[in-house]
Structure 1
Amino acid sequence: MSSTPASGKRKGLPNILGNIAWLVGGKGFGAICSLVYLALLSQSLGIRDFGHFSLIFGTGQALVAIAGFQTWQTMVRFGAQAIHQQDWGRFGRLAWLCGGLEAAGAIFGCLAAYVIYFGFADRLGLNPAYVHMAFAFNCALVWARVTTPNGIVRVLDRFDVSIYVEAVVPAGRVLAAIAIVVMGASVGRFLFAWAAIDLLAAALYWIAAWRLAPHALARRHIGGIRTALRENPGAARFFGITYLSSTLDALFKQGPLLAVGYFLGTSTAGIYRLADQLAQGFGKLSALLGRAIYPEITLARISNDAGDFRRLVLQITGIAGIGGLIVTLVALFFGGDVLGLIGGEAYARGGVILLPLVIGAAFELASVSYEPVLHSTGHAAYPLIARVIAVLTLGVGIFAFVSAGPVGIGWAVALGMAAGYLAMSVIVWIVLHWDRKRA
């Protein structure tokens, strides 16, 4: 079967709200599951082993970003035009180009994981008994975190399918966590289960993409790298820009956890990780909105006039700002209680860490429409400026505040996110002003 978005003027906000409805259903289910498996994992392993698990998982997520490419953005940014024109050959060649690039990145990720775990594991305070399993886990993770089929599904406006596939991960983790607790909890068993579930989800995503666009993913379209690049001028530059953006984003999100492990120890990293995981749960609302917004803004840019496009951006920004305020208030009043409920009494003191992390997540949420806007208007390099400012501010903040412990690093995260938000806000509104004047 296949699915294509309708041509003509886009409805904008109603389409986005429809996409969000699907995503909220899926992410709501995922959020409940994540609270369950986090509670099982943190309480069954204890602070120290949960710290080891957190450092291994955090390193893996950083490697995924450093070795991988956000090819889903390329599929949406350049595939939207091919879908609009019903050019399945062009769309398929782009998809195979993106998939091949991800495979090359996964190979590089495995090599990087080898260097990290067999060369620098002691610097992270990692138990030597975990080195081999950590390496294997990270290799599985870089192969599992594919985004090309994700982009195919989203540019075809099939958010329902993506939700069904993505539900496999949280549901699988809950079932696995229950089984592991019954058998006897260990870091190795949790790592094995997480890796197997992620690999299964990746395979299901490719199957779903193939069923939605079988003509595009036909084997005859494999290998047309030069043709794909020629058909999509600017794609190579876009690959590079989104790669740098995702790498900087990974440094920002995983760097603080690794800094806590390096400067403050494994047990403290476990407490920080649980607070950070909950904050990122709020922050995932940003990713949820971003996935719903990105295809619609890209398609709206093609089919709508400048005035309608600007109004859409204003509507999204207003909604996201309100959402950021709400999550901050929730963390302020209930954060410590939630951490204690999930991890037990030993983790409850992480409530003071949670507040600055959620404030940072609120800034991320408020800026959720900015990157899609800049990509759709041909200014994909501009978000790099804001991310560089955010990472530099974070780095300075970590060294300045690390003496205050994990709370200080949490406030460094909030400060870095605020700096990035302000820079991105200025850039976006200048671009929209130029866009309106040219129209």
Structure 2
Amino acid sequence: MLRRALQNTGWLMSARAVNAVLSLVYLALATRELGPERFGLFVIAFTFAQLVVGLSSFQTWQSIIRWGQDEDDRKTATGFALALDGVTILVGTTVAALVLGFAGDWLLLPEKMRFPTFLFTVASLLAIRSTPTGLLRLHDRYARAALADATTSIVRVVGAVVVIFVHPSIQSFLIVWGAAEVATAAMYWWLAASTEPIHWRRISLTRLPRERRAAGEKAWSFVAGTSLTGMLSIASRQLLVLLTGVLGGPALAGIYRVASQLGEGLLKLAQALLRAVYPELVRNPQGAKLLVGKITRIAAFTGVLVIAFGLLAGEWIITAIAGEDYLAAFWPMLVLAAAASLELAGASLEALLVARGQAITNFLIRAVPLAVGLAALPWLIGLFGAMGAALVVLGTSMVSVTGFALMVRRRLSDAPLEASGTSA
């Protein structure tokens, strides 16, 4: 089980590695071409779209893995996931239109940027790919998922080079980033459909919950818990970038974005680890304790190495990629790397709790410290600038991962692991 989990993580990280290298290229192109102020406005527009997607989307891949272990159930689970995707697109588009129409000034977006930002948000919503991701992971097609993930950075790099020579503007970069999202989603759906036919006729928001209720499970409780946790994990960081710009100005948002892009590389590894480990915990709950312990130790060691590397080479990396105008990102970058290291160590713990039906518990463990951090954000940014936002991330991660560890310890000591299909 450990070997397969690490192999699947390896495929996920191969795509992350390609994206990490290429992201440095397109980050360098965008930061140097636009400069701190215009890059900050681009970051605000991009982050707004990602925040809308994060707040309105569901973690449908987890539903497919949990309820799609046999063929007929998989058809129903896929139809349920597709229906949830439809809700995401409808709700997200409506929210984006209302916010940009009535609160564009609060976002510091000039009038001419609001419609392009809305179009980019719609493209990002149409490009959600949690459902095909779940189908690929269910069949252990992590190599195909890695190929699809690499599409994003390839399109961004090629598009950024073209934009620089043709028409370098914020709107042009938004077009390229939107095209990359759509291209990646198209690749995911094509690869998923070639793995297994997509069961479009089973689209329904009620069929799966009704069948699970008859089996003694609360499907909506699981969906709510995983989705709320996903919202916090994705949207909280996007919200911090957006609020940093609103409270400190576009240039500060740009600096914080550079810090987060360089410092949160481990967070992507943590997310990849969670996605690779979760199916194994569902399939073999009896071996969960051993698997989680081994992976947590590997993750902790990896995190220490990355932070040490950041201390030694961080300033040189920032100067080489973004330029000296962004050197203020150095310490926030290290703080975010430390937070990501904690998330990496806690990823398998979080996956274990989700596999045991503790999705709502996970949400609460993340939500409470995040709420406290967001309440303190204006004061922290006023005192420390971009470092203040990074400290919120670090504090939230420290409390959350500690909570995961305590909860896992209590659950493992209270009772033996249940079967994967039973809510705890």
Whether these two folds match at TM > 0.5 is: yes
> Is 1:350 the counterpart of 2:333 in the alignment?
no
Give the deviation of 1:320 after TM superposition. 1.3
| Contact kept? 1:103, 1:143, Cα under 8 Å | no
SS of aligned partner of 1:124: coil
- Residues 78 and 203 in structure 2, CA contact (< 8 A), matched pair in contact too: no
Deviation at 1:251, TM superposition (A): 4.1
1:333 corresponds to which residue?
312
Counterpart pick for 1:33 among 9, 22, 37 = 22
**How many Å separate the matches in 2 of 1:334 and 1:135?**
38
Contact 2:78 2:199 in 1 (8 A): no
Tell me by how many angstroms 1:268 deviates: 1.2
Q: How does 1:220-235 map to 2 (within 5 A)?
A: 221-223=201-203, 225-232=205-212, 233-235=217-219
Deviating more after overlay: 90-99 vs 201-210: 201-210
SS of the aligned residue for 2:140 comes to coil
User: What residue identity is the alignment partner of 2:133?
Assistant: N
The answer to whether 1:50 aligns with 2:39 is yes
Contact 2:247 2:378 in 1 (8 A): no
Distance 2:145 2:209 in 1: 27
Contact 1:336 1:352 in 2 (8 A): no
| TM value normalised by structure 1 | 0.90
- 2:417, 2:207 → 1: CA distance? 35
RMSD of aligned Cα (Å)? 1.8
Equivalent of 1:310 in 263, 266, 289: 289
Identity score, percent: 29
Which residue is equivalent to 1:417?
A: 397
Q: Does 1:127 align with 2:107?
A: no
TM score, norm. by length of structure 2: 0.93
Instruction: Provide the residue aligned with 1:381 in structure 2.
Output: 360
- 2:45 aligned with 1:69, yes or no? no
Q: Which residue matches 1:90?
A: 73
- SS of the residue corresponding to residue 145 of structure 1 reads coil
AA partner of residue 361 (structure 1): A
CA contact (8 A) 2:82 2:131 kept: yes
1:172 aligns with 2:151: no
CA distance in 1, matches of 2:234, 2:45: 14
Shift of 1:368: 0.7
Which position in structure 1 is the counterpart of 2:339?
360
Deviation of 1:39 after TM superposition, in Å, equals: 0.6
Which residue identity lines up with residue 156 of structure 2 in the other structure?
R
Contact 1:367 1:421 in 2 (8 A): yes
Matching residue's letter, 2:207: T
Tell me which stretches of 4 or more aligned residues in structure 1 moved more than 4 Å: none
Q: 1:119 to 1:200 in 2, by over 3 A?
A: same
Say how many residue pairs are matched.
414
Give the aligned partner of residue 147 of structure 1.
130
- Structure 1 counterpart of 2:371, which letter? L
Cα deviation 1:113-143 (Å, max 9, x = unaligned):
0111111111121122211101111111111
Q: Does 1:294 align with 2:273?
A: no
User: Structure 1 CA distance, aligned partners of 2:399 and 2:358?
Assistant: 20
The answer as to 2:16 corresponding to 1:16 is: no
Matched, 1:272 2:256: yes
Give unmatched runs, 5+ long, in structure 2: 420-424
Which residue does the alignment assign to 1:4?
A: none
State the distance in 2 between where 1:157 and 1:245 align: 24
